[in-house]
Amino acid sequence: MTIQQVASTASAISDAAIQELSARLRGPLLRPDDDGYDAARCIWNAMIDKRPACIARCSGVSDVIETLEFVRKHDVPLAVRGGGHNIAGTALCDDGVVIDLSALKGIWVDPESRTARAQPGVTWGELDTETQVFGYAVPSGIVSTTG
């Protein structure tokens, strides 16, 4: 798609459609005029300044599924945000929909199998904190704010 096609596609989403998506989500759906929108579109790399049409602050799998169905139905750009570090800026998009998973912070450590499971909003520092309780270290990057 060209930039013009993306912009015209995104602007074609009616307010009613966005309100319907909002009603189907358990987490909040942020639009440019909403409180918290600017904070939700910030990532670690402050050189990235993208303005999505809306940000779905997902609180669980059902919110992700609903948002994906909306994006498919309306054929708009999609970005997925995890922990928010994202140096390349692909966790955001202009005039599209962002699936924001940063609130999904569950971590489960199984000391018997010596494994850990983490939801997509978890950062390395948070994972390290939970695994260290069991005397484990996670071999990974060195920047604690990386998701």
Give the CATH number of the domain where residue 93 resides.
Answer: 3.30.43.10
Secondary structure element (H or E) that encloses residue 40, with its range: helix 37-40
- Other CB atoms within a 10 A radius of the CB of residue 62 amount to 13
Same domain (yes/no): 80, 144: no
Cβ contact 78:96 at 8 Å = yes
Same domain (yes/no): 128, 72: no
Q: Which residue, among 15, 90, 84, has the nearest Cα to 54 in the 3D structure?
A: 15
Amino acid sitting at position 57? R
10 Å CB burial of residue 47 (0-12, 13-18, 19+) is exposed
pLDDT < 70 regions, the chain: 1-12
Same domain (yes/no): 76, 59: yes
Range of the domain at 112: 105-147
pLDDT recorded at residue 79 = 96
N-term to C-term CA, the chain: 29
Same domain (yes/no): 20, 63: yes
pLDDT recorded at residue 11 = 53
pLDDT recorded at residue 6 = 43
Same domain (yes/no): 60, 86: yes
Same domain (yes/no): 14, 39: yes
Same domain (yes/no): 69, 111: no
Specify the DSSP class assigned to residue 90.
T
pLDDT recorded at residue 55 = 97
Same domain (yes/no): 70, 12: yes
Question: In total, how many domains does the chain have?
Answer: 2
Same domain (yes/no): 37, 93: yes
Same domain (yes/no): 51, 17: yes
pTM, full prediction: 0.86
